[in-house]
Chains A and B, each alone.
Chain A
Amino acid sequence: MDAMGDQPPPAGNLDAVVNEVVAEAHLRPDELRPEERAYLKEHALKRPLRVLDIWALGVGVVITGAYFGWNLGLKDNGPVAMLVASLVVCLLYLIWVLALSELSVAMPFAGGPLAYGRRAADPSLGFVMGWSMFLECQFATIATALATGGYIAFLVNPETPSNVCASLLVVLVFFLLHVVGVKEQSSVMVVMTYGAILGLVIFWIATASNFSWQRVWPENPFPPQKGWKAVLDAVPYALWWLVMIETVALAAEEAHEPHRTIPRGLVWAQLTLVVLVVLTWLFACGAMDSQELAVDVVNGKEEPVVYPLAKVVGHIPAGRSAAVVYGFGVIALFGLTASYHGMVYGTSRQAFALGRAGYLPAFLGRVHGRRRTPVLALLSTSLITAGFVIAGLWFRAAIDVAVLVSTLTALVWYILAMGCLAVLRRREPQLFRNYQAPLYRSLPLAVVLLSAFAAYVYSGIDTKVVPLTALLYTLGLAYYWFWAQRGLVKAAPEELAARQTW
């Protein structure tokens, strides 16, 4: 039972965890007041995660991007535009995770962006960055819950699938799993990540039997009416391949020796994902016309294809066997559930950190006495997800909008985080003594320029995503300015880490 976290951790262990947090906040233990030590003890997380766990979290949390979402970028743009957009995004995320590793090792707290903004500037910037990541994680979780539930419902009953019931079941199961303990959920994540990769390998092998270079690289690479604009239009959907890998930065507070585990785990995860992205694009677009991969025509109306890989498998000769279709369908579930699993982690940890530091309601910052998991943050974010799942009954484009809000809010804090990195490197170089990313000056600059490029293309999207995102920021900032900023908790790790700059 102890392994399941049912026994309270010994007081000495909690003292050791608190001492580690204090050291990582670059404070001396005697600078901590007794009431601050008590607060940290009460809100301490365990630190069992190693490189394999970080790799699995990094790959698992975004692998759903290979299973759905990216294909919507093929509509009217074609496979070549999608390839160029995907490679831009792969490069962006590669340099982004390197820069993020540096910040994450310097300030290994569950608050992640909250801590970076807080230390580099002030609580307002910390809140904007933390809120951005919370929105990114929450909306990605909503999109994935809808897609996962729909997929399960389709497998169980293809004639009349009940998406809402299956989505709610997914939300409940993963809420319970995350409540049990961080090591336990991480072990499940490793298995699911292997399963998700296996699903993609089976997909590549099956679709190779129907592969055509003509479909992948047509004579006219772009639609004649669009030209290079097709690349810009594909970028927001290409972001979905890899968005959320930064969730790994939030795991730094639960990682053993974060200065080693975070950079290694993140880099290996990102390299694994680049290979998965390119091969999945290649075999999907080679096996089926790209427009059919993006849209279905139902009763004369175009509807987005929600499960593109399953559609390809059903379309190719090898997929005429029911065993292949259902076999792949079941394995593909790993891809969707692994990512949902990782997204629940990211959303709950960000809500927990914002609550623990007083930026969101304090109850979100409480942890379970024995399991040391943020139960109320998990419950609250799961309830929000469940609410949107139910609302999805009346809002057909829910997945599309959730995907775009998630990626847009992500870009906001990527750019801000690079500003923080530049400021902190100049002002407090000693912060980064444990790990420095390669390409010292050009790296953050490249992240900013590529992120700005990706954000710019949103101006061409015909949805209500930008006003909706602006509304969410307005609500968050109103809460912070009119309510939260008077009650920030100075004993929270993210606030302790900022103490030297007061």
Chain B
Amino acid sequence: MSSNLPGPDASGRTKPLLMVLEVVTTACLLAVVLALAWITLMANDTESLRLTSVQLEVVIVVVLLLLAVALVSLLALLHTRR
């Protein structure tokens, strides 16, 4: 992944925490995209893709989306501090 993280700080160190955050956020966004593809297939009556109960499926999707929103927000805020 090509990153455009804030450069080295005053002591010349890079910011590994931010790098980890970008990797985790990217993975989370990928999971969201896969979840949306799954929702689209489920909407077309593809019952073979059912994972578990509808309740649990919804909870998983909602948690995934909330996590993605939180991670992107955190990253965005860290970037605007530059």
Contacts and interface: CB of A to CB of B under 8 A. Distances in A.
Contacts of A221: 54-55, 58
A263 B26 CA distance: 20
Given A84-B62, A228-B42, A449 B33 contact: yes
A267 B76 contact: yes
13 contacts: A80-B58, A84-B61, A88-B32, A90-B65, A94-B72, A221-B54, A227-B43, A436-B4, A438-B4, A440-B2, A446-B29, A446-B33, A449-B33
Contacts of B66: 87
B72 A95 contact: yes
Given A227-B42, A231-B43, A440-B3, A84 B29 contact: no
Given A94-B72, A231-B39, A267 B80 contact: yes
A95 B71 CA distance: 11
B82 to A, nearest CB: 9
A437 B25 CA distance: 13
B9 to A, nearest CB: 17
A442 B4 CA distance: 12
Interface residues of A, number: 37
A83 B45 CA distance: 21
A456 B29 contact: no
A481 interface: no
A61 to B, nearest CB: 19
Contacts of B62: 83-84, 87
Interface in A398-457: 436-442, 446, 449-450, 453, 456
Nearest to A224: B54
B76 A220 contact: no
Interface string B1-29: 11111000000000000000010011001
Nearest to A265: B80
B12 to A, nearest CB: 21
B65 A438 contact: no
A264 interface: yes
Contacts of A320: none
B79 A438 contact: yes
A222 interface: yes
Given A87-B62, A98-B76, A450-B33, A441 B2 contact: yes
A313 interface: no
Q: Which of B44, B65, B78 has the most CB of A within 10 A?
A: B65
A450 B31 CA distance: 12
B29 A439 contact: yes
A349 B45 CA distance: 45
Contacts of A91: 32, 65, 68-69, 72
A222 B61 CA distance: 14
A94 B67 CA distance: 13
Given A227-B42, A227-B54, A87 B36 contact: no
Given A274-B69, A438-B75, A441-B1, A456 B80 contact: no
Instruction: Choose among A228, A231, A268, A270 the residue with the greatest number of B CB atoms under 10 Å from its CB.
Output: A228
Contacts of A232: 39-40, 43
Contact of B36 (A88, A95, A274): A88
A205 interface: no
A231 B54 CA distance: 13
Contacts of A441: 1-2
Contacts of A231: 39, 43
A370 interface: no
Nearest to B44: A229
A95 B58 CA distance: 23
Interface string B35-59: 0100110111100000000110010
A214 to B, nearest CB: 14
B32 to A, nearest CB: 7
Contact of A94 (B3, B26, B73): B73
Given A91-B65, A274-B69, A84 B58 contact: yes
B69 to A, nearest CB: 5
A79 to B, nearest CB: 11
Contact of A438 (B32, B39, B55, B76): B76
Contacts of A270: 76
A271 interface: yes
A268 B39 CA distance: 30
A95 B40 CA distance: 21
A255 B53 CA distance: 51
A437 B79 contact: yes
A222 B1 contact: no
B37 to A, nearest CB: 8
Contacts of A227: 42-43, 45, 54
Nearest to A98: B76
Nearest to B53: A221
Contacts of B25: 438-439
A439 B75 contact: yes
Contacts of B4: 436-438, 440
A95 B79 CA distance: 13
A271 B71 CA distance: 12
Contacts of B77: 267, 271
Contacts of A449: 33, 36
Contacts of A222: 54, 58
